[in-house]
Amino acid sequence: MGEQGGAERRAYHHGDLRAALIDAALDLISEAGVAGFSVAEAARRVGVSAAAPYRHFPDRESLLAAAASAATRQLTHKIRTAVGTAPDPGDPVERLAATAGVYSRFVIERRAGFDLIFTPALQDRHDGELRDATRALVAELLRLAMAASTGGIHAALELLEHHTALAHGYAGLQLGGAFTPGPPHPQGHDAVADHAVSAARSLIVGHRLLHAPADSGR
């Protein structure tokens, strides 16, 4: 992430080709999604042969899983630091709503969201690294949903699901080009993230209205 010397040049695997390959994989994913990722291209970016990665990862999926783990940790970190900077950080509604912006922006910029994190092929590897990263992320979100919901745990889980779908949908529509009839706007990402936050506010408010403590039925 940090290095930005040449446009995409080479040979900075001074000592850690494994890490360099994960970085390259994340770059590829951010540029063209999981479909744009290939072991060969990642190797090319780093400046090694197509065979070299197989010394560090048994197969394509292993590298992909490592990249997914890294992305998950990055996302969790972004959510943790961003929640405190909401318009009204003391309001649990604003705190949860802010995560919709963080998530959609992250996915739009990196193309590494829940669909990558929860890819069955990756989760089924029972990779401890990915499992731990996923759990930390879900725990963080659940905490925020619990605070924002006026119902019980059941209502909070439902709210989290609704909220997650909303943020994921914003990212998906933007990435799919549904918001940009013309060429993609430079600052469109921020605008989309803002819309996601605004939508999340409506959703949370509506959810609280329909799941008020006095009216916990249904």
Determine the 3-state secondary structure of 111 from DSSP: coil
Q: Please state at what angle helix 153-176 crosses helix 92-110, rounded to 10 degrees.
A: 30
Rg over CA atoms, the chain: 19
Binding residue (CB under 8 A) for its own copies from 68, 112, 141, 203:
203
State how far the Cα of 200 lies from the Cα of 52, in Å rounded to an integer: 45
Is 102 exposed, middle or buried (CB count within 10 Å of its CB: 0-12, 13-18, 19+)?
Answer: buried
Determine the 3-state secondary structure of 133 from DSSP: helix
Binding residue (CB under 8 A) for its own copies from 19, 61, 169, 194:
169
Q: Which partner from the list DNA, its own copies, none does 38 bind, CB cut-off 5 to 8 Å by kind?
A: DNA
Q: Using the rule CB under 8 A, is 202 a contact of its own copies?
A: yes
CA distances in angstroms from 164 to 60, 69, 167, 176, listed in the order given: 29, 19, 5, 18
Q: Using the rule CB under 7 A, is 12 a contact of DNA?
A: no
Would you say 20 or 200 has its CB closer to its own copies?
200
Would you say 52 or 157 has its CB closer to DNA?
52
Q: Which partner from the list its own copies, DNA, none does 105 bind, CB cut-off 5 to 8 Å by kind?
A: none
Q: Which two tokens mark 119?
A: 């890819």
Would you say 30 or 119 has its CB closer to its own copies?
119
The interface with DNA within residues 102-141 (CB under 7 A) comprises none
Q: Which partner from the list DNA, its own copies, none does 84 bind, CB cut-off 5 to 8 Å by kind?
A: none
Please report, as ranges, the residues that interact with its own copies according to CB under 8 A: 35, 114-120, 123, 158, 161-162, 164-170, 172-173, 175-178, 180-181, 195-196, 198-199, 201-207, 209-210
